[in-house]
Structure formats: C-alpha cells, structure tokens
Amino acid sequence: MEKLIEEKFVKLLIKAKEDIMSSLVSESKEFEAIVDDMDPKDLVDLAAGDIDKKILEALNQKDLRKLRLIDSALSRAKNGRYGLCMRCGTRIPEERLEAIPYALMCIDCRSVEERKLR
C-alpha cells in the first residue's frame, strides 16, 4: 500500500480511537452520576436502573470491540500488513478501508464468513 494512503488510514484509525475513548469516558461519568443520584427506590425503579446499566454495558462492549479492531489495525500498519485480508492475503480495496478502516477481510472473504454464521 502506498505510504501516503496508509498514513491517511492510520490517522483515521487514531481519530476513531480517540472518539471511542472520549465516548467511553463520557458514558462512564454519566453512569457514575446516575448511580450517585440514586435514592432508595422500590423494586420497579431498581429494575429500570438495572436495565439502564445493561444498556450502557452493551454500548460499552460494542465500543470496546471496535477499539480492539482499531488497535489490531494499527498494529498491522506497524508490521506492514495493513490493508491485507487476514484470510486470503489479498489487498483490501481502498473504498472498503474508507468505509471501515479497521476491516480485517476483503469483501469476498467477509461474505463467506457471514454465510457461515447464518
């Protein structure tokens, strides 16, 4: 991959990582504020609070997964493997990397993986 193009994607990955980290910090502060403001409540209110906690945890898991993918992509960039499909080794099209800069596979291999999961 051309060095300038790879640098462009590395910048995109770093920006995405910074966005996720600031989002996680923000969500964590919001969650802490919710917990701190809780008064003794009846069971219904406690259940609703538990549901809110589960939603926040689910959002964090999604962001954490994306963060791991970004870190993996940055590691591949350091090793000169960024932009190569992890399954077949072919070059991932630039258009795909524009949409998903942390993509692990080319579209064909990803399609095969998705069909297996059905």
CB 109 within 8 A of CB 85: yes
pLDDT at residue number 74? 95
Which among 71, 117, 66, 110 has a CA at the least distance from the CA of 87?
110
Over the stretch 45-80, which tens digit does the pLDDT of each residue have?
555 556 566 656 666 788 888 989 999 999 999 999
How far from 68 is each of 17, 31, 47, 102, 112, CA to CA, in Å?
9, 22, 31, 9, 22
Stated pTM of the model? 0.71
pLDDT level of residue 43 (50, 70, 90 thresholds): very low
pLDDT level of residue 10 (50, 70, 90 thresholds): very high
